[in-house]
Amino acid sequence: MRDEPVRERNHGQVPGGKKTLLEQVLVLFMVLVAAGCSGGQATDQCSLADSDIVLPADRHPHQVTNEWWYYTGHLWDAQQNRYGYEVSFFQSFVGEQVGYVAHFALSDPRQGRHLYGQRIILPDAGAGELDLDVNGWRLWSEGDSYRVDIAAGDIGARLTITGQKPPVLHNGNGVIDMGSGDWSYYYSETRQQVSGNLVLDGNDVAAQGYGWHDHQWGDFDAFGSDGWDWFSLQFDDNTELMMFILHTKDAGAQLTGCTFVDEQGCAHDLEQFELQSLRTWHSPHTGGDYPLDWTLSVPGAELDVEITVTFDDQEMDTRATTLNTYWEGEVTASGTRAGKPVAGLGYVELAGYGPWGP
């Protein structure tokens, strides 16, 4: 087992660099998917009845090649300072050997600090229930809630996470393409209530807010694509949006899921959107060039917003545990929906722009 050191970054803004080929492809990205969009042909998904996914049973581990439980969100302390968090637990099987990895990060936009840590273990057997312990970092299911207990040097989190909307499936039936002909089950809990304590600079900070949970599993190669762009946005009108854009091996881009969740918690699979990145940030740590700050138009949701990162350096160098680097950071969103002002917070993951895979 290994406990990697916590990394802290506190840097100013770095000028944007040359646009990558994939970023140019995404400058105007219009994709059609099988399901209809809202506006006449939408099918509201308010239950999981037509899917192989069965909840709550499928929140627990499966004996498959890759599986992960992802939690991101935004918490406020008593002084109304906001913090972003990422908690990720991974399970992988290679033959009979199972491995577990955990990533944890805190974003402090007020001070422009991104702090993170990572751990890995190779136990004799896989977990039967969602009660994972990766060298002292724990994630478990407790009734209708998830519990997180992480201590990583001077940072940490002890959180209770409870869903406020029912889970939603992506791509209609909860199955998405992960590249190279591989598929993954995928559902999200797009709005959760979160409360507990953060540890920052060694001090306990009581905090509460809201979050997002992704769960994916299947017999797929995590490096079967050249990475992906993932967006989760939570708006102040009680709606949410998820987009998952796969980087294909031929330097193209493929939409594997775009889901809008309305005020009642019903999911709508959208036909098209336009996404344009406005600039690039060059990582001084890994050499990766990441597209940042976007304009987004989603006609099926009557949504037009600008997405802005809270600060540039929110990159994760996790080559010691998952053999890759990725940018996972807090963003803000503002614009209009159905002609009315809307604002929100979210998280964006950008994978494949820096070192990627073995």
pLDDT score at 44 = 54
| Residue 57: φ, ψ to 5° | -55, -40
Tokens of 189: 């809990």
Q: Please state the domain extents for the chain.
A: 2-356
- CB 224: neighbour CB atoms within 10 A? 16
pLDDT score at 18 = 33
CA distance 174 to 89: 20
Average pLDDT, the chain: 88
pLDDT digits (tens, 9 = 90+) for 80-101: 999 999 999 999 999 999 999 9
pLDDT score at 12 = 31
Strand-pair partners of 28: none
Q: Are the C-beta atoms of 317 and 286 separated by less than 8 Å?
A: yes
Cis peptide bond N-terminal to 291, omega within 30: no
Q: Tell which residue, 1, 13, 8, 10, has the closest CA to residue 308.
A: 13
pLDDT score at 210 = 98
pLDDT score at 33 = 30
**CATH 2.40.370.10 is the classification of domain 2-356:** yes
pLDDT score at 271 = 77
Q: Are the C-beta atoms of 193 and 243 separated by less than 8 Å?
A: no
Residue 123 amino acid letter: P
The angle formed by the CA atoms of residues 21, 19 and 349, to the nearest 5 degrees, is 80
Give the residue ranges of the chain where pLDDT is below 50: 1-43
pLDDT score at 180 = 80
Long-range contacts from 109-113, C-beta under 8 angstroms, 24+ separation: 109/82, 109/83, 109/84, 109/310, 109/311, 109/330, 110/81, 110/82, 111/10, 112/10, 112/11, 112/12, 112/311, 112/313, 113/8, 113/9, 113/10
pLDDT score at 48 = 61
pLDDT score at 50 = 75
Q: Tell which residue, 236, 59, 201, has the closest CA to residue 142.
A: 59
